[in-house]
Amino acid sequence: MTEVVTVGVIGGSGLYNLDGIQIVKEHNLETPFGKPSAPVVEASLGGASFFFLPRHGKDHQFLPHEVNYRANIYALKSLGVQNLVSVSAVGSLKEELPPTTMVMPDQFIDWTKGGRQRTFFGEGIVGHVSVANPIEKGLQDLLVEACQSADVSHSRGGSYICIEGPQFSTRAESEIYRSFGASVIGMTNVPESFLAKEAGMAYATIAMVTDYDCWKEEHCTVDEIMKVMATNGVAANKILNILIPLIHEKPFTFQKENTFAILTPDEKLTSTQKEILAVLKS
């Protein structure tokens, strides 16, 4: 392949494989932060190249708090990924966002418990990036265009609240999150989105609604949720089949938030730390 691959897709619950792709190679990587969730698949779709990584592993063996987010993001960046699309299953916190809606949030609320490794910095590297705007608008614009072309129900904007899991919310918690004005609830996009910022990536999310969390006076069986997830998976495949070539056709520029993030003088960094930062800033 002569084309430079810049697009990455991280698939979540309900999206482990993509239809219609031609697999070029599997990259079995080891990073300074450990192994990613699975080998990274290099593939082609509609003539456009990209990388795909199942967030929870090939056999869905990792709970949200067990995912090695740092290794996942670092592995993708080391392979050249600049534009990263996250696909995730979520619960809806708003009546107007029913199951099977594809939501593209523009904000995140971190409600995890502090046990996740959420930065590439530390241990001698002092750095700070802004996550004021965690979603890259240019990439989100293309997500919206792809949803429209795929003719799937979608909604742009709103906040994704990320909880620790693996348990779902209590009803009282669900009502608290609704009082925040959050639109959807999930367990994976933090610290993933923040790490993408530290890695200088453009990041955007397709949040696939499976149910109304537990605030609504309805009870969903696992079988019902699985049926919705299957429907969402089909819709996500349609979107990505349009989106991946579209990103190549309509490249956009964005500000890398990590450009001036590091405060530690270069001469104080070890050779390993310099190598890590070289990948993150590439």
Residue 16: per-residue pLDDT: 53
Number of Cβ atoms within 10 Å of the Cβ of 122: 10
Chain segment 107-164, per-residue pLDDT in tens? 999 999 999 999 999 999 999 999 999 999 999 999 999 999 999 999 999 999 999 9
* Domains contained in the chain, CATH given: 7-119+132-253 (3.40.50.1580)
Residue 91: per-residue pLDDT: 95
Residue with tokens 């270069």: 266
Chain segment 174-188, per-residue pLDDT in tens? 999 999 999 999 999
**Burial degree of 60 (CB within 10 A; 0-12, 13-18, 19+):** middle
Strand 40-45 versus strand 48-54 pairing type? antiparallel
Residue 3: per-residue pLDDT: 47
Residue 1: per-residue pLDDT: 37
Best CA proximity match to 152, nearest among 100, 113, 206: 100
pLDDT in tens, the chain (282 residues): 334 659 999 996 555 566 778 889 999 999 999 999 999 999 998 889 999 999 999 888 999 999 999 999 999 999 999 999 999 999 999 999 999 999 999 999 999 999 999 999 999 999 999 999 999 999 999 999 999 999 999 999 999 999 999 999 999 999 999 999 999 999 999 999 999 999 999 999 999 999 999 998 766 667 777 889 889 999 999 999 999 999 999 999 999 999 999 999 999 999 999 999 999 999
Residue 47: per-residue pLDDT: 85
Catalytic residues: 211, 213
- Omega into 191 within 30° of 0, i.e. cis? yes
**Three-state secondary structure call for residue 205:** strand
